[in-house]
Structure formats: structure tokens, C-alpha cells
Amino acid sequence: MKIGLPRETKDNENRVAMTPRGVAQLCASGSSVVVQEGAGVGSGFADAEYAAAGARIGDVEEAWDVDLVVKVKEPLESEYPFLAGQSVFTYFHLAGCPPHLTRTLLESGTTAIAYETLEDAAGRLPLLAPMSAIAGNMASLVGAYYLARAHGGKGVQLGQVLGIRHGRVLIIGDGVVGFHAARTAYGLGAHVTVAGLDADKAARMRAEIGPDLGFFLSEPRAIAEELRRADLLVGAVLQHGARADYVVSRDMVAGMEPGSVLVDVSIDQGGCIETSRPTRHSDPVYVSEGVIHYCVTNMPGAYPRTSTLALTEATFPYLAKLAERGLDALRGDPGFSKALNVHRGHITCRPVAEALGMLEKYQDWNPL
């Protein structure tokens, strides 16, 4: 199979979807790989390393003129002309994207294989988990940064001062993002409370994070009450493949103190806070209802070396299967087949079709 590795074009996106080591393994198995010049530089991988691994270094057109394109983020409008019926393996987040991308995929006959909807045998999301962990860690750190008065915040530090905890953090969501955000904020020294859906997780999280971690079952009245005294809100809600639900209303945000901060990690899937809108690393924040909003859609791109190593460790086994067998790799593997979002002019992931109001384009793809 001919595989292409283009350079990412999203704002300040320096991750890359394959390392030289991965390229060497694919080439040794009989695939050919075209790497766009400079694709790995932002993650610390030079063109010479890819060439030594067996890749051919080419331009952007060559990296897209292949059977299978491997990326980190969804194609942007500048890349739409390159969509020409090939398969693309990347994070798509179609349910949270403007429908123009999905329409372009449908019209071009492109096959969209999405990292974020692929499941393992236990129903977990193994390709989303590593980036969720990094984004969760980052949410508490970036929140602490913008709470500083010099950065527009209310001047509350998340940290222990002579053994006393300062700053209050509310995290909505008890999954991978929520766990990592809670652990980081607790480690900084803040008071941390998690709003979750699984009461059994409270004891496990306290055992792994700390005995003073707060936990309550997520419901609107309790969230609103907790928000009135929160300095930092982290939105960490996930619906598999679907658009995230709003769990924080505009009125709830307005009830927070001026200069508070919120980080909506769910923004890739549309956001879980009513006042959220997508931002980018070069212009990451805005103020709404007196609260600083950080809603960057590619948060892990801020730490490309760590993110690339974690991401490719998770994606490569699936990439190797695609390189060897194409879409036949999805047949007989129900979890892998859930990664297929668009194929031959149809949407094959029902939550995506529902979120975009395009059920007339939905067609079940039975891999068995």
C-alpha cells in the first residue's frame, strides 16, 4: 500500500502522525511511504530520519496522492482539494465540525477512518485516551496560568501555601480527561471537586489522587451551586462519536466570579459549555460573562514531542493492519469498524449523521 504523511496545517499544530520508526516498520512490511517535507520537524523528527527509514520525501501533492493518508487533525479547507477518494486515518471529530467537511468527504468519495470512534474489546477509546490524558493535564496548568491577575484572571493561585490549599477547581466529567485534570490540579495544591456519572469512581479516584478529592453526581443544580465558588472550571464531557451535550448553561457561567477561568476540553466535539466557541493556540482565550474561556481545539499540539510519541504508540498497530489489509482489517473487528465514519458517499457512523442532521446520508456498514 502507498501511504502518505502530510505536514499538519492547523494553527500551531506540530504533532506528526508517524515517527521514523513507524515508517521503517511499514516499509519493511512492503508498503511505500511518502513524507511531506518538514512533516516531523515540529516534533523533533528531521526529514533525513524519515529518508533513512525508507520513506521518500515529497511535496504536499505527493503526500496526498496515495492510497492511505495518515494525519493527526482533520483536513482543513486548504486541504479539501487533495481529497480524491483515498482513505484518511486521523482525528475527524465530525460531529463537532461544521458540516462542510463531511459534505466534502461525501462528495469526493473519501473514506474517513476516525481515531476518536475506534473502540477496543472493552468499549474504550484507545486512540483518544493518550491525547485526552495530555489535554487533561494541560487543562489544569493552563487554567492556573490564566487565573493570574497579569493574564486577566482573578488573582487566585492553585497551590498549597504552607500546607493550606488555595483555589477551587470543578471538573465536569470522570473519564480520562477528568481524571488527569483532577490529578494535576490536586497535585498543584488546589481544592478539587469532580462532577461525574459513576459514583463507584469516587473511591478509586480518591485512592489514586488523594483523600480530600471531592466528588458528586453530575446534575444541573449541584453544578450551578459548585460553580459559584469555583475559580477554574474544566469541561471534560464525552459522548462517543456524538456532539457533546451542554452541561453548563450561560446562566451558570454568569454565576461565576469575574476573572474566573474555564477550559472546555470537549470543544473538539462541539463543547459542553454553552458559552464556548473554538479558539486556536495563537489566540487561545476570550471573555464571556466575565469569565476567561480557553477552548483550543488541538490542545495537545502545544506539547508535540510528548503527544506524538503517545499518539503513535496507540495508533500504529491499527495503521499496520490498514497497510496490510486495507478496509478488510475492519471486517470481523467490531471495535475497529466503528472508526469508519464516511465511506463511498455515505456517513457510516450514526451519531455523526444525527449530530449533523444528515440522516438521509447514513448507511450502516456491516463489516462482518
Active site (catalytic) residues: 93, 268
C-alpha cell read off for 83: 481529497
d(CA 349, CA 343): 10
Answer yes or no: are the C-beta atoms of 233 and 248 closer than 8 Å: yes
C-alpha cell read off for 182: 483532577
The CB-side HSE value for 305 (13 A sphere, CA atoms) comes to 4
d(CA 181, CA 196): 13
Identify any residues that bridge with 164 across adjacent strands, giving them in sequence order.
Answer: 161
Q: Which amino acid is at 27?
A: C
Identify any residues that bridge with 57 across adjacent strands, giving them in sequence order.
Answer: 35
3-state secondary structure of 338: coil
d(CA 273, CA 179): 19
Instruction: Please enumerate in sequence order all residues whose Cβ is within 8 A of that of 239, keeping only pairs 6 or more positions apart, or say none.
Output: 245, 269, 351
Instruction: Please enumerate in sequence order all residues whose Cβ is within 8 A of that of 317, keeping only pairs 6 or more positions apart, or say none.
Output: none
**CA torsion sign, 204 to 205 to 209 to 212?**
negative
C-alpha cell read off for 22: 513507524
The CB-side HSE value for 170 (13 A sphere, CA atoms) comes to 24
**CA torsion sign, 198 to 233 to 278 to 136?**
negative
d(CA 297, CA 271): 10
Q: How far is CA 122 from the centre of its chain?
A: 20
Q: How far is CA 60 from the centre of its chain?
A: 24
